[in-house]
Amino acid sequence: MVGGRVAVAEADPGFTARKARAQNRSASSAKVAGRKRDELLEKVSAVEISVPQMSWNVLVRGACEHYNALQLACGNYDYDQAAPDSDPAFLERIAVNYLRHELSDYEPELAKLFGQVGRADAASVIRKRVYNAIADAYPDLASECGRQLRDRARYTPLCLNLILRHSGRRP
């Protein structure tokens, strides 16, 4: 009888002491993790974020080249090539992506977070700061930056649930 064995184990005088020690260790670990998280957030909040200034035409050409190269690198040979005369909303999207991924320190800063306590929150801080830097440097892209931030906030939990479900772990 499992319930009986559990009741007997919990009645052992040493059980209460072991349980208290485990709770103390857990509380101490949570306190240390919280401190590390706060330190990391403070650190990433102080990182200098900048994006280069350039004319719209130069930015669009670079964004189109980057987008087209990325499609080919991913093995996608059947796509509509990006060009300066592509749909304006599409050009704004790839311009923001180009600035974020290729012309800022976004990717290297995210890479520094690997394995650190508070990584997800710190990545969110960096992401928001990069989008804000892009919007400050290119006010015409501010609404696209906001859209991408909103979309990411909306879809990230859905993607995480799918990943966990397919990995056999519970969301």
Distance of alpha carbon 51 from alpha carbon 104, whole angstroms = 5
The number of residues in the chain equals: 171
Question: Domain containing 98: what range?
Answer: 47-167
Q: Which of 107, 124, 111, 119 is nearest to 40 (CA)?
A: 119
| 60 within a domain of the structure (yes/no) | yes
| 19 within a domain of the structure (yes/no) | no
pLDDT at 25 over 70: yes
| 91 within a domain of the structure (yes/no) | yes
| 89 within a domain of the structure (yes/no) | yes
What are the tens digits of pLDDT across the range 61-96? 999 999 999 999 999 899 999 999 999 999 999 999
The structural domain count of the chain equals 1
Contact between 47 and 109 (Cβ < 8 Å): yes
User: What percentage of the chain reaches a pLDDT higher than 70?
Assistant: 88
State the distance between the two ends of the chain, measured CA to CA, in whole angstroms: 32
Alpha helical stretches, state H, the chain: 2-11, 13-46, 56-73, 88-102, 106-112, 119-137, 142-167
| 22 within a domain of the structure (yes/no) | no
* CA-based torsion, 12, 17, 19, 22: positive or negative: negative
Give me the amino acid identity at 144.
E
* CA-based torsion, 114, 119, 124, 130: positive or negative: negative
What are the tens digits of pLDDT across the range 38-55? 999 999 999 999 999 999
pLDDT recorded at residue 158: 55
CA distances from 41 to 32, 46, 110, 121, 144 (A): 14, 9, 12, 7, 25
pLDDT recorded at residue 104: 94
| 86 within a domain of the structure (yes/no) | yes
| 82 within a domain of the structure (yes/no) | yes
Q: How confident is the model at residue 22 (pLDDT cuts 50, 70, 90)?
A: confident
| 147 within a domain of the structure (yes/no) | yes
Q: Which residues fall within 8 angstroms of residue 99, CB to CB, at 6 or more apart?
A: 51, 59, 63, 134, 137, 138, 141
